[in-house]
Amino acid sequence: MDALTTYHFAMIAVFLGGYGAIIFEHRLHINKGGAALLLAGTLWLLYFAGIADDPHAAAHQISEHLSEVSQIVFFLLGAMTLVEVIDSHGAFRLVTDQIRTRSKWRVMWILAVLAFFMSAMLDNLTTTIVMVSLLRRILPNRDNRLLLGSMVVIAANAGGAWTPMGDVTTTMLWIGGQVTTTGVMTALFVPSLVAMIVAVVLLGVREKGGHFGGEAQVEQPPVHVGARRVLSLGLGAFVAVPVLKTVVHLPPFVGILLGLGVMWLVTDRLHRADEGRAHVKVAHAFTKIDVSGVLFFLGILLGIGALESAGLLTLLAQGLDATTDSPAVLAGIIGVLSAIIDNVPLVAATMGMYPVEVYPVDGRFWDLIALCAGTGGSILIIGSAAGVALMGMEKVDFMWYLRRISWIALVSYLAGMATYIGLAALG
């Protein structure tokens, strides 16, 4: 890109305005899904009207972005539907009944550790969807649920950063050859664990009161026929996604849709003789999904795609490169920016700018990029797929998260970075 044009500045202004509308959705009394779709549509309109040289090439670009985004959206739809079917059967009660403690401290640690390791095996988005659904059964009180849901986001993002299948940016670096499986897991496990531990400690110290009072007696949903089978099928579908991706390179959205198809057939056959159980079938689960939250996700990612096609994100990455020659500082800034702008195009631009001849495979630079891009999105609720999922499922206000959680996520992020740098210096 030779120079910024009026249309480029217009796109920047639209993005900032749309982002502001999403941040202050409750004060403006608008739905963030509508704001995100308007943002995406306007950005692509400006791109086609004044920046794209060839309309056919521009159409191909938006098709590529739509292909990438739709895969995430279909995955989200499939995962949320599976969770709803499991929940409608009362199958989560089989899990939640085992968590008998009401101690805030113990519940925090149980959920954080579960989210951390589940995310490493599955991914941070799937983990958040499952864990937030569990939270709805453990903690009917919304204030408590939002706090622990936010902690789950931080833990899931930290857990996803240290494995190739846990976070999309680590996956990109793994596929691109910048990191290896053993190398990234060995280097980032301890820093990611420290980031999770720091977040739990800070949240636990801040919250007063030793127990979640009055919630143990809340009426639980009935356990329907086939609940154990449905729970096993659902968890099996989630586990199969990364396995199929690793073994046969099947895209995750196909894997989750495959699992949903199996669940659909099994539950239809299971309840075929009783019309009174229609509410536990897959068809009814679709009516309970928050479509506006999914469209919000679609709009945000398509809008970021427009900025990437216009060359603005590459320009941003080049500007960062010109600002500092410190790999640690550069990775740290990219991590913070990941809380505002999708980390995928930022990491993609970084991969294109720095060949492995400059920064070798499994070197400190790529490890820091994986760690920072994976955990930095927790600083703002809109900064990661896990955060967006929580925002959609629990209607979390942007400003509430900013006031209550962002500083905890930032300290945890810096603690993870400091741990990696310290260990690297000792090594």
Tell me if 304 sits within 8 A of 47, measured CB to CB.
Answer: no
Please tell me the predicted confidence (pLDDT) of residue 199: 94
Contact 304, 341 (CB under 8 A): yes
Alpha-carbon distance 159 to 122, whole Å? 10
The pLDDT assigned to 38 comes to 94
> What is the model's pLDDT at position 2?
62
Kindly give the parts of the chain with pLDDT less than 70.
1-2, 93-102, 206-223, 276, 342, 344-345, 352, 427
pTM above 0.85, yes or no: no
- Domain ranges across the chain: 6-426
Q: Where does 89-207 have alpha helices with state H?
A: 93-96, 104-121, 124-138, 142-161, 168-176, 181-206
DSSP one-letter string for 5-38: -HHHHHHHHHHHHHHHHHHTHHHHT--HHHHHHH
Task: Read off the pLDDT of residues 359-411 as tens digits, 9 standing for 90 and up.
Answer: 888 888 899 999 998 899 899 988 888 888 888 788 888 889 999 999 999 99
pLDDT of residue 427: 67
Question: DSSP alpha helices (H): ranges in 162-290?
Answer: 168-176, 181-206, 227-248, 252-270, 282-285
Q: What pLDDT score was predicted for residue 211?
A: 61
pLDDT the model gives residue 90: 77
pLDDT of amino acid 223? 67
Question: What per-residue confidence (pLDDT) applies to 214?
Answer: 46
| Tens of pLDDT, residues 242-297 | 788 778 988 888 998 999 999 999 988 888 877 767 778 888 888 888 788 788 87
- Give the DSSP H or E segment for 309: helix 291-309
Residue corresponding to tokens 């699992």: 259
Q: What confidence score (pLDDT) does residue 216 get?
A: 45
